[in-house]
């Protein structure tokens, strides 16, 4: 299947500064690893195999205003021009501080995700990877959680505007609940939002209970699987196989949008989950297989969070790109990429899948799986899957 990469180095401008945990290098290092493996093709994708570069431009105002209030967009533009002035709308020192050029940078991220969706709708590609996207915490009228514009919501809303009968399934595997996307479509029957995340009792943004199921005409179209701390790859795969996949099959979407944050990894400094690089590879394979089954392969894969940005996120997203292409990467990491990682004063791992997860004692492992199974069984009962 034709597969595109919605990326430009200009996306590095989405940068809150050197002390901020969300680093743009998580994206550029992932793309450089894909390139080092030979998976990024020339723009003429008919001539060479790989991820065809897809041109990225800032999102149109109409794309942003489908999911954000005009007053909020105007506030972002003011903060972008005068980052030292009070801005309100969640733009403040801390998680989401103003920086010069913020509007243009955030609009470019949204533009990449929207370009990917337009390409899918036009039939130019079957799959698109937009690794700078996945800023799922932004709300209609405020920034939140490192996210200024909600590119995922903008891309989905674009599809709904393009075709009033289209159905979209959104699957979010970021460690943090995809609250902004869920909020946008909480009453929308054409969009199924699914989020597998660390339980909100322990992690930002504090939402994502399995009781959050949508409202009004959208009742039943929000699905949350909150996982306990230290949840392992086996927990993720149990939740996916027993809840996510059957729910998406029943919804019968036309396009699958995935948010592939890599911050559920056990080494991530902001979360306490237990995913591994091989675990991500298995999960990505399931997402691609599900898209082949229910959407004839039409899939927009976004990036997301991930704060072990030098060595974990790039490897995870390289495996995501390989899954979209249907290829298996050799385990030996390219020498040039390993040297690039060293420029950031980090020691690269020995291999692509090298991941010695910290061992959990038997009692903790059993408790984590028990708690996961409890949530899975409860959801299966609620969904009528039992």
Each residue's pLDDT tens digit, 169-201: 999 999 999 999 999 999 999 999 999 999 999
Percentage of residues in the chain with pLDDT exceeding 70?
98
Residue 363: exposure state from Cβ atoms within 10 A (0-12, 13-18, ≥19): exposed
Residue 48, pLDDT score? 55
Residue 375, pLDDT score? 97
Is the pLDDT confidence value at 73 over 70? Answer: yes
| Structural domain boundaries, residue 139 | 3-383
Helix (H, G, I), strand (E, B) or coil at 300: strand
Q: pLDDT tens-digit profile of 219-278? A: 999 999 999 999 999 999 999 999 999 999 999 999 999 999 999 999 999 999 999 999
- Asked whether 65 and 161 are in contact (CB, 8 A), the reply is no
Number of domains in the chain: 1
Which of 89, 137, 177, 197 is an active site residue?
A: 137
For residues 217 and 187, give the distance between their C-alpha atoms in angstroms, rounded to a whole number: 6
Helix (H, G, I), strand (E, B) or coil at 233: helix
Query: Does the pTM of the predicted model rise above 0.95?
Result: yes
For residues 212 and 76, give the distance between their C-alpha atoms in angstroms, rounded to a whole number: 30
Q: pLDDT tens-digit profile of 320-353? A: 999 999 999 999 999 999 999 999 999 999 899 9
Going by pLDDT thresholds of 50, 70 and 90, the confidence category of residue 47 is very low
Q: Tell me, what DSSP letter sits at residue 358?
A: P
Going by pLDDT thresholds of 50, 70 and 90, the confidence category of residue 295 is very high
CATH number at residue 308: 3.40.800.20
Tokens of 380: 């299966």
Count helices and strands (H / E) in the chain. Answer: 12, 8
What's the maximum distance between 2 C-alpha atoms anywhere in the chain? 55
Told to judge if 103 belongs to the known catalytic residues of this protein, a careful annotator would answer no
């Amino acid at each position: 299947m034709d597969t595109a990469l919605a990326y430009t180095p200009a996306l590095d401008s989405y940068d809150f500064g050197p002390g901020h945990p969300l680093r743009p290098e998580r994206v550029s290092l992932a793309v450089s690893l894909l390139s080092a493996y030979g998976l990024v093709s020339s723009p003429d994708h008919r001539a060479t195999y790989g991820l065809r570069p897809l041109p990225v431009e800032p999102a149109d105002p109409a794309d942003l205003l489908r999911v954000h209030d005009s007053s909020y967009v105007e506030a972002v533009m003011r903060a972008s021009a005068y980052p030292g002035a009070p801005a309100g709308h969640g733009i403040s020192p801390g998680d989401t501080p103003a920086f010069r050029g913020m509007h243009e940078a955030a609009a470019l991220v949204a533009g990449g995700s929207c370009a990917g969706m337009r390409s899918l709708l036009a039939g130019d590609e079957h799959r698109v990877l937009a690794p700078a996207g996945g800023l799922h915490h932004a709300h209609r009228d405020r920034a939140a959680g490192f996210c200024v514009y909600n590119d995922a919501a903008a891309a989905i809303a674009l599809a709904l505007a393009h075709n009033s009968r289209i159905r979209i399934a959104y699957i979010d595997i970021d460690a943090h609940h995809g609250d902004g996307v869920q909020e946008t479509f909480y009453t929308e029957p054409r969009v199924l939002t699914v989020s597998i995340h660390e339980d909100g009792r322990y992690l930002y943004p504090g939402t994502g209970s399995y009781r959050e199921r949508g409202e009004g005409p959208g009742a039943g179209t929000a699905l949350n699987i909150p996982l306990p701390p230290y949840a392992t790859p086996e927990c993720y795969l149990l939740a996916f196989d027993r809840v996510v996949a059957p729910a998406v099959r029943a919804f019968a979407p036309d396009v699958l949008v995935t948010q592939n944050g890599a911050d559920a990894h056990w080494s991530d400094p902001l979360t306490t989950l237990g995913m591994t690089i091989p675990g991500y590879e298995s999960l990505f394979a399931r997402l691609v297989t599900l898209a082949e089954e229910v959407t004839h392969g039409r899939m927009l894969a976004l990036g997301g969070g991930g704060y072990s940005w030098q060595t974990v996120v790039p490897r995870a997203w390289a495996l995501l790109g390989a899954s979209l292409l249907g290829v298996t990467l050799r385990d030996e990491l390219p020498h040039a990429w390993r040297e690039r990682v060293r420029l950031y004063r980090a020691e690269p791992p020995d291999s692509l899948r090298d991941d010695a997860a910290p061992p959990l004692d038997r009692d903790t492992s059993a408790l984590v799986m028990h708690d996961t199974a409890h949530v899975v069984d409860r959801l299966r009962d609620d969904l009528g899957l039992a």
